């Protein structure tokens, strides 16, 4: 189970439109993500990025279509790994890293007492993102970077067909960020996962993304990271103060 | 001594059945922020009793459970659809159910018949009542185990739960229904006024000491059982209402735990 690659899943969005309480949030989004692709979605706050992920997850109603296909056949309910934007964990919540991973495997945290196999699988999953040392910690006691890596470990256990990362970098220190991107890149290369990452961190993601989409309600620019970063729409959308395109292109190299 | 009385032995059995089950459910109630909901269910029992009387039932229990299940479903819907404050809507529901119950039961000046429901009467438990309660308790524990992962994940992040194919709405309906049944059945033994305490206090006391989900459940059950037994014996010697005495012991444990946390 652990070593299989994705089922060569490709995801096709055709004119996806979402209205929430009568207001159009995203409009006519058409995209294709193949197996092994890393697609970065960028855009200002309120651009509808998270809404798009929610539509892919099947959490909200939408117009248009979202199709998953593997080797020419339609996949009705692909396994989707998801790393949420923020997990509001109240201080003192008695859920440990181990609990989360046991639940990701689909076992009961109580079964650890008589199932050593489960414990081994949990360790493997944590080691994959280099956080084995956090096993016994409570989720609420982790730093932003640690929590994101633990959530990533849970999202890829078992290995999904498609991995969605929603702004997985907010509140994470630069070092943790670099490590996170490396882990994600490595996952893609080793396991040929399709990955969609929503982010504000243009410079960080640019070297890793095959394709980039700039969106604000609908898709404004789509292409390689270089194309998107050089497009003048980027500055118009984010404002000149927010970015230094030269730095971003440097990062890409 | 207290154990030489039959009624105390039956009451002890009743305590050993309901306090651990309520304590276990309490961990969900706190994780899922349902403390207000469970209080509403407890207070709605009064309306349930009135409903049972109006329907001419020999036993009000079916009407009480029916009403509680309806409330459970309503509140789950409310949480799903409401964009404004659920808290306020729950407050309104609480007022409505409580006042309606009291008005219906006190019509014609006969409320005193029902005061037993307010404070509970676990000392009058008969052996024939124990077995059904035991079965319900076992069912609740089984459901608790089945729903555990889903509920912990939903309370972490609903979208994360969705991505793992958890039917969030139905799990919440299951949780509130299970809670509704258990609270309603406990009301006649423990009393409307304090049934919620037996749900909340053990889990609240256990929470800061638990490092993981297993410890949370184990500590909560242990604290629930201990306060149950001490409360029962204490109420015998003080001549006080058993439900409230158990709740008081539970509150004492909570205060101790809080104090210890500050010291350590």
Instruction: Quick: pLDDT tens for B82-96.
Output: 766 788 888 999 999
* Helix (H) or strand (E) run with residue A115 in it: none
Q: What mean pLDDT do residues B161-175 have?
A: 91
- Asked if the Cβ–Cβ distance from B208 to A92 is below 8 Å, we say yes
Q: What mean pLDDT do residues B191-212 have?
A: 94
* Helix (H) or strand (E) run with residue A64 in it: strand A63-70
Sequence-ordered list of residues with C-beta below 8 angstroms from that of B141, at least 6 positions apart, any chain: B21, B24
Q: Listing from the earlier edge strand, what are the strands of the sheet with A73-74?
A: A23-33, A9-20, A63-70, A73-74
- Asked if the Cβ–Cβ distance from A57 to B216 is below 8 Å, we say no
Provide residues of B within 8 Å CB-CB of chain A: 31, 83, 145, 148-149, 152-153, 156-157, 159-160, 162-165, 206-208, 210-217
Q: State the helix-helix crossing angle for A144-155 and A116-128, rounded to 10 degrees.
A: 120
Count of CB atoms situated within 10 Å of the CB of A86:
13
- Asked if the Cβ–Cβ distance from A87 to B152 is below 8 Å, we say no
- Asked if the Cβ–Cβ distance from B211 to A138 is below 8 Å, we say yes
**In chain B, % of residues over pLDDT 90:** 69
- Asked if the Cβ–Cβ distance from A93 to B215 is below 8 Å, we say no
Q: What mean pLDDT do residues A102-129 have?
A: 88
B1, burial (CB in 10 Å: exposed 0-12, middle 13-18, buried 19+): exposed
* Better-predicted residue by pLDDT, B119 or B27: B27
Cα–Cα dist A34/A12, whole Å:
9
- Asked if the Cβ–Cβ distance from B162 to A58 is below 8 Å, we say yes
Q: Which positions in chain A touch B216 (Cβ < 8 Å)?
A: 94
- Residue of chain A minimizing CA distance to B157: A87
Residue to substitute from B33, B146, B167, B213, interface A, most A β-carbons within 10 A = B213
Sequence-ordered list of residues with C-beta below 8 angstroms from that of B139, at least 6 positions apart, any chain: none
The partner residue sitting opposite A95, judged by closest CB among B159, B160, B212, is B212
Q: Is there a contact between B148 and B213 (Cβ–Cβ < 8 Å)?
A: yes
The partner residue sitting opposite A84, judged by closest CB among B31, B160, B211, is B160
CA–chain centroid gap for B256, Å, is: 23
Residue A247 has a pLDDT of: 58
What burial letters (b/e) apply to B97-117, b meaning 16+ CB within 10 Å?
A: bbebbbebbeeeeeeeebeeb
Q: Is there a contact between B198 and B190 (Cβ–Cβ < 8 Å)?
A: yes
Reading the block at residue A100, the tokens are 């989360």
Residue A173 has a pLDDT of: 75
3-state secondary structure of A128: helix
- Asked if the Cβ–Cβ distance from B148 to A108 is below 8 Å, we say yes
Tell me the torsion sign for CA atoms A171, A173, A176, A181. Answer: positive
Sequence-ordered list of residues with C-beta below 8 angstroms from that of B196, at least 6 positions apart, any chain: B35, B38, B39, B42, B183
**In chain B, % of residues over pLDDT 70:** 99
* Better-predicted residue by pLDDT, A137 or A189: A137
Residue A7, phi then psi, degrees to nearest 5? -80, 40
- Residue of chain B minimizing CA distance to A102: B149
- Asked if the Cβ–Cβ distance from B214 to A164 is below 8 Å, we say no
**Each residue's pLDDT tens digit, A2-35:** 444 556 788 889 999 999 888 898 888 999 888 8
- Asked if the Cβ–Cβ distance from B216 to A94 is below 8 Å, we say yes
**Each residue's pLDDT tens digit, A58-96:** 888 899 989 898 877 888 888 899 998 777 788 889 999
The partner residue sitting opposite A89, judged by closest CB among B145, B156, B159, is B156
Ramachandran bin of A17, using left for φ above 0, alpha for ψ from -120 to 50, beta for the remaining angles: beta
Residue A1 has a pLDDT of: 40
Per-residue pLDDT for B202 more than 90?
A: yes
Per-residue pLDDT for B2 more than 70?
A: yes
Q: Listing from the earlier edge strand, what are the strands of the sheet with A162-166?
A: A80-83, A162-166, A194-198, A38-42, A211-216, A218-223
Q: Which positions in chain B touch A99 (Cβ < 8 Å)?
A: 152, 212-214
A114, burial (CB in 10 Å: exposed 0-12, middle 13-18, buried 19+): exposed
For residue B79, name the pLDDT band (cuts at 50, 70, 90). Answer: confident
Q: Is there a contact between A231 and A222 (Cβ–Cβ < 8 Å)?
A: no
Cα–Cα dist B168/B151, whole Å:
8
- Residue of chain A minimizing CA distance to B148: A108
- Residue of chain A minimizing CA distance to B31: A93
- Asked if the Cβ–Cβ distance from B156 to A139 is below 8 Å, we say yes
Residue A3 has a pLDDT of: 44
Residue B94 has a pLDDT of: 92
Q: What mean pLDDT do residues B131-147 have?
A: 94
Residue B103 has a pLDDT of: 92
Q: What mean pLDDT do residues B134-139 have?
A: 95
B131, burial (CB in 10 Å: exposed 0-12, middle 13-18, buried 19+): exposed
Residue to substitute from B80, B164, B223, B258, interface A, most A β-carbons within 10 A = B164
Q: Which of B228, B252, B31 is nearest to B122 (CA)?
A: B228
Residue A204 has a pLDDT of: 80
């Amino acid at each position: 189970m652990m070593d299989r690659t994705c089922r060569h899943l490709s995801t096709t969005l055709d004119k996806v439109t979402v209205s929430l309480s009568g207001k159009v949030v995203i409009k006519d989004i058409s995209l294709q993500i193949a197996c092994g692709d890393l697609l970065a979605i960028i855009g200002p706050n309120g651009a509808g990025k998270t809404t798009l992920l929610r539509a892919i997850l099947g959490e909200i109603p939408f117009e248009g279509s979202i199709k998953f296909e593997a080797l020419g056949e339609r996949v009705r309910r692909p396994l989707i790994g998801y790393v949420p934007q923020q997990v509001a964990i109240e201080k003192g919540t008695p859920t440990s890293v181990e609990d989360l991973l046991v639940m990701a495997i689909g076992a009961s945290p109580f079964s650890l007492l008589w199932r050593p196999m489960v414990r081994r699988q949990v360790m493997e999953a944590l080691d994959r993102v280099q956080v084995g040392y956090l096993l016994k910690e409570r989720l609420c006691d982790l730093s932003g970077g640690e929590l994101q890596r633990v959530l990533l470990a849970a999202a890829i256990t078992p290995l999904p067909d498609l991995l969605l990362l929603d702004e997985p970098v907010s509140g994470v220190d630069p070092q943790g960020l670099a490590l996170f991107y490396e882990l994600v890149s490595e996952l893609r290369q080793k396991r040929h996962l399709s990955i969609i990452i929503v982010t504000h961190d243009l410079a960080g993601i640019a070297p890793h993304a095959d394709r980039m989409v700039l969106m604000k309600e609908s898709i404004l620019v789509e292409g390689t990271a270089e194309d998107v970063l050089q497009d003048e729409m980027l500055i118009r959308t984010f404002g000149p103060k927010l970015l230094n395109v030269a730095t971003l292109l440097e990062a890409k190299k | 001594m207290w154990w030489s009385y039959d009624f105390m032995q039956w009451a002890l059995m009743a305590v050993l059945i309901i306090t651990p089950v309520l304590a276990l459910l309490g961990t969900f109630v706190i994780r899922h922020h349902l403390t207000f909901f469970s209080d509403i269910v407890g207070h709605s029992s009064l309306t349930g009793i009135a409903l049972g009387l109006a329907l001419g039932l020999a036993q009000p229990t079916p009407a009480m459970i029916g009403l509680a299940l309806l409330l459970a479903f309503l509140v789950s819907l409310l949480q799903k659809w409401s964009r404004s404050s659920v808290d306020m809507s729950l407050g309104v529901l609480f007022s409505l159910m409580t006042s309606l119950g009291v008005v219906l039961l006190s019509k014609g000046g006969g409320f005193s018949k029902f005061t037993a429901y307010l404070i509970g009467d676990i000392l009058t438990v008969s052996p024939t009542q124990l077995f059904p309660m035991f079965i319900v308790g076992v069912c609740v524990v089984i459901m608790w185990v089945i729903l555990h992962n889903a509920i912990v994940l939903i309370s972490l992040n609903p979208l994360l739960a969705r991505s793992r194919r958890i039917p969030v709405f139905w799990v919440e309906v299951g949780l509130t229904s299970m809670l509704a049944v258990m609270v309603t059945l406990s009301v006649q033994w423990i009393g409307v006024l304090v049934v919620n305490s037996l749900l909340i206090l053990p889990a609240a006391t256990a929470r800061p000491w638990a490092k993981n989900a297993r410890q949370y459940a184990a500590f909560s059950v242990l604290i629930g059982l201990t306060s149950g037994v001490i409360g029962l014996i204490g109420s015998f010697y003080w001549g006080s209402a058993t439900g409230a005495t158990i709740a008081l012991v539970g509150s004492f444990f909570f205060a101790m735990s809080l104090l210890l946390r500050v010291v350590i």
